[in-house]
Amino acid sequence: MTTRLLYNQALDTFTSYEAVRPDGGQIVGLAPEFLIYDLEVSPAGSYDPATEYLEPFETINHEERRVTRGSKVLMLPEPMVPGADFEGFYADLLGSNVYQQTIVPALRLGATPQLISFMSIFRFAIEDAMNGRIQPNQPANPNSLQTALWLLMEAAQGVLTLDDLQELQTLMDLNNLSTTYFLKPSP
């Protein structure tokens, strides 16, 4: 479909020709700062909205006094995988049943020195992660949180039930930690 536009050279803007002359007829007494351009609108191509999207474009050719508008088909970007939410995990952990009903009572009722020590190591590691001091695949000891988790799980054997471990795994899943961190080493 081709129609026309009025180009205002002084303001570098386009106006619909039909806004000035709805019947499309000749404009009499057109001021010299206005030029008439042809507008060509290209139909959108077919695309798969599951994998592609339409991006509008406009090209202006001042020599030919032509404006072309349309849409080009582009591939959708890969979805971003959300990063680990350390703050969310720690907040969820502190409010969880496993922490409130299993870990805290164990710490209060004479837990082993090893469990107390490894709980402190875990707390320092999660605080480092929350403050951006450790990240997976970063040079500053990226494995400190993973090591702290494994040490804590080792010391908590006999304290944590299968339900407790499942709750911990669910908290890790909900806060995107389970793609990088694991409750036990792989065999």
C-alpha 93/C-alpha 169 separation (Å) is 11
C-alpha 34/C-alpha 14 separation (Å) is 9
Mean pLDDT of 97-125: 84
Alpha helices in the chain (DSSP H): 17-20, 86-95, 97, 104-108, 113-130, 144-155, 162-174
- Which tokens belong to 136? 């997976």
- pLDDT for 158 equals 80
Which tens digit of pLDDT belongs to each residue from 148-176? 888 888 888 888 888 999 999 999 999 98
Q: Are 106 and 99 in contact (CB under 8 A)?
A: no
- Tell me: pLDDT of 1 over 70: no
Q: What are phi and psi of 125, to 5 degrees?
A: -65, -45
- Tell me: pLDDT of 138 over 60: no
Residues 6+ apart with CB under 8 A from 10: 33
- Tell me: pLDDT of 90 over 80: yes
- Which tokens belong to 63? 């020599």
C-alpha 46/C-alpha 58 separation (Å) is 19
- Tell me: pLDDT of 69 over 90: yes
Regarding pTM above 0.95, the answer is no
Between helix 162-174 and helix 86-95 the angle, nearest 10°, is 150
User: Is 152 exposed, middle or buried (CB count within 10 Å of its CB: 0-12, 13-18, 19+)?
Assistant: buried
Name the DSSP letter for residue 47: -
Mean pLDDT for all residues in the chain: 85
What residue type is 42 in one-letter code? S
Radius of gyration of the chain (CA): 32
